[in-house]
Amino acid sequence: MNLLEQKGSMNWVGYSFSWQANMYARMGDGQKAAETLQKFASCFTLPNSFHVNGDQCEGKLSSFRYRPFTLEGNFAFASAVQEMLLQSHDGVIKIFPAIPATWSDASFNQLRAEGAFVISAMKENGKVKSITIVSEKGGELNLKNPFEKFSVEMADYKMTGDVIKIQTKPGQRITLQGL
C-alpha cells in the first residue's frame, strides 16, 4: 500500500479507488477505507449512482476525465463496506474490524461469513452491543471477541486467547450481548 500511496492516483481509473478501499479494510484501516470510498463516491459516481471511470472532480484524483459507465466499481464499493463490517477470511470471524472512529454507531443484518454463518450485529457509542449468529450447517464457530464483558444465549463457549469458540448445530441461533 505504501507504494500505491507514493505513486499517487493520477493514472488510476474510478474502480481503482473502491478496490483500494477493500485493501485498506482488509488491513483493518477503517479510516483510510472510508476516505477512499468517499473519493470514489464524490468523483467517480454520477448523480444517478452510475460509476464512471473518469474523474468527475476536474481531474483532482485522476488524469482520466471520460465518462464510460462500468459495474465493477460499485460492486467493489459494496465489497469494501462489507469488509469494514465483517471479515472471516482467516478462519476467525471479526465483527466491525475496520470501522472508522466516526462510525460510533453501526449495524448490519444477515451478512454471511465463511463456515455457513449468517450474522447480524449492532454497535452503539463505539461499543458492540449485540451479535446474533445463525449456524446454517453446524460446526466450530471462531469469533474474535469484540466485547469487554459479554453473555452468550443458547450456547456453551470456551475462550482461546481473544477468540470465542462455540460448537454449533445446524440451524442453531446464538446471541451474544455486551454487558
Report the alpha-carbon distance of residue 154 to residue 133 in Å, rounded. 11
> What does the pLDDT read at residue 75?
94
Taking residue 29's Cβ as centre, other Cβ atoms within 10 Å add up to 18
Phi, psi at residue 156, to the nearest 5°?
Answer: -95, 150
Q: Domains in the chain, ordered, with CATH?
A: 1-87 (no CATH), 88-179 (2.60.40.1180)
Cell of 58: 476536474
Let me know the angle formed at the C-alpha of 92 by 33 and 132, rounded to the nearest 5 degrees. 85
pLDDT of residue 120: 98
Q: In this predicted structure, what is the pLDDT of residue 68?
A: 82
Alpha helices by DSSP H, listed for 1-69, are 2-7, 14-26, 30-43
Q: What's the confidence (pLDDT) of residue 88?
A: 98
pLDDT confidence of residue 124: 97
Distance of CA 174 to the CA centre of its chain: 21
CA angle 13, 18, 24 (to 5 degrees): 125
Low-confidence residues of the chain: pLDDT under 50: none
pLDDT digits (tens, 9 = 90+) for 19-37: 999 999 999 999 999 999 9
Residue 46: per-residue pLDDT: 92
Contact 61, 17 (CB under 8 A): yes
Task: Give the pLDDT confidence score for residue 141 in this predicted structure.
Answer: 98
